[in-house]
């Protein structure tokens, strides 16, 4: 399921990172690697703040839908 549907505080494993190749690489450099863990900390109108490898990343809804967990 896309990251937008993950519950708050629930630790998920990333299955796939989609989107344009550029965006994908940028997300991966930020820590969104396949097999890695991600936790939604907070949501704001579809946009999410997630915890990835100890850092907090704000991701817009369009982007979050490209991250499958």
Partner 1 sequence: MNIRIALAGNPNSGKTTLFNALTGSNQFVGNWPGVTVEKKEGKLRRREGVTVTDLPGIYSLSPYTPEEVVARNYLTGERPDVILNIVDGTNLERNLYLTTQLTELGIPVVVAVNMIDVVRKSGDRIDIPELSRRLGCRVVEISAMKGIGLDEAVEEVLRAAESDKTQPVHRFSEPVEQALSAIEARAATGFPEAQRRWYALKLFERDEKILGKLQPDAAVAEAVEKEIQAVEQKLDDDSASIVINERYGYISDMIRHCYRKKNAGGLSISDKIDRVVTNRWAGLPIFAAVMFLVYYLSMVTVGTFATDWANDGLFGDGWHLLGIGSSAYEEAAEQYGDSDAIIQAYLSAYGNEELAAALDAESESYNAEAVGAALGELLNLVPADASVIYEVTDEETLAVTEYASGKTDLEAAVEAYLNTEYKAAPGAPTPEEYGVWVPGIPVLAANGLEAAGTPEWLDGLLLDGIIAGVGAVLGFVPQMLVLFLLLAFLESCGYLSRIAFVLDRVFRRFGLSGKSFIPMLVGSGCGVPGIMASRTIESERDRRMTIITTTFIPCGAKIPFISMIAGALFGNSPLVATSAYFIGLAAIIISGIMLKKTRMFAGDPAPFVMELPAYRLPTVGNVLRSMWERGWSFIKKAGTIILLSTIVIWFTSYFGVVDGSFRMLAEDELEYSILAAIGSGIAWIFAPLGWGTWQAAVASVTGLVAKENIVGTMGILYGAGGNVYASLAAAFTGISGFSFLVFNLLCAPCFAAIGAIRREMNSAKWTWFAIGYQCGFAYAVALMIYQFGLLFTGEVNVIGLVAALAVLAGILWLLFRPAGRRGLKKAVRTAS
Strand partners, 42: 49
Minimum separation from the CB atom of position 67 to partner 1 (A): 10
**Exactly one of 1, 29, 38, 40 binds partner 1 (CB under 8 A); which one?**
29
Count residues contacting partner 1 (CB under 8 A)?
35
Asked if 41 is part of the footprint of partner 1 (rule: CB under 8 A), the reply reads yes
**Exactly one of 12, 30, 68, 69 binds partner 1 (CB under 8 A); which one?**
30
Distance of CA 21 to the CA centre of its chain: 16
């Amino acid at each position: 399921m896309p990251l937008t549907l993950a519950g708050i505080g629930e630790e998920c494993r990333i299955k796939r990172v989609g989107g344009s190749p550029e965006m994908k690489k940028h997300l991966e450099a930020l820590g969104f690697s396949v097999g890695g863990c991600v936790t939604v900390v907070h949501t704001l109108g579809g946009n999410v703040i997630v915890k990835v490898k100890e850092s907090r990343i704000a991701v817009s809804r369009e982007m979050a839908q490209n991250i499958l967990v």
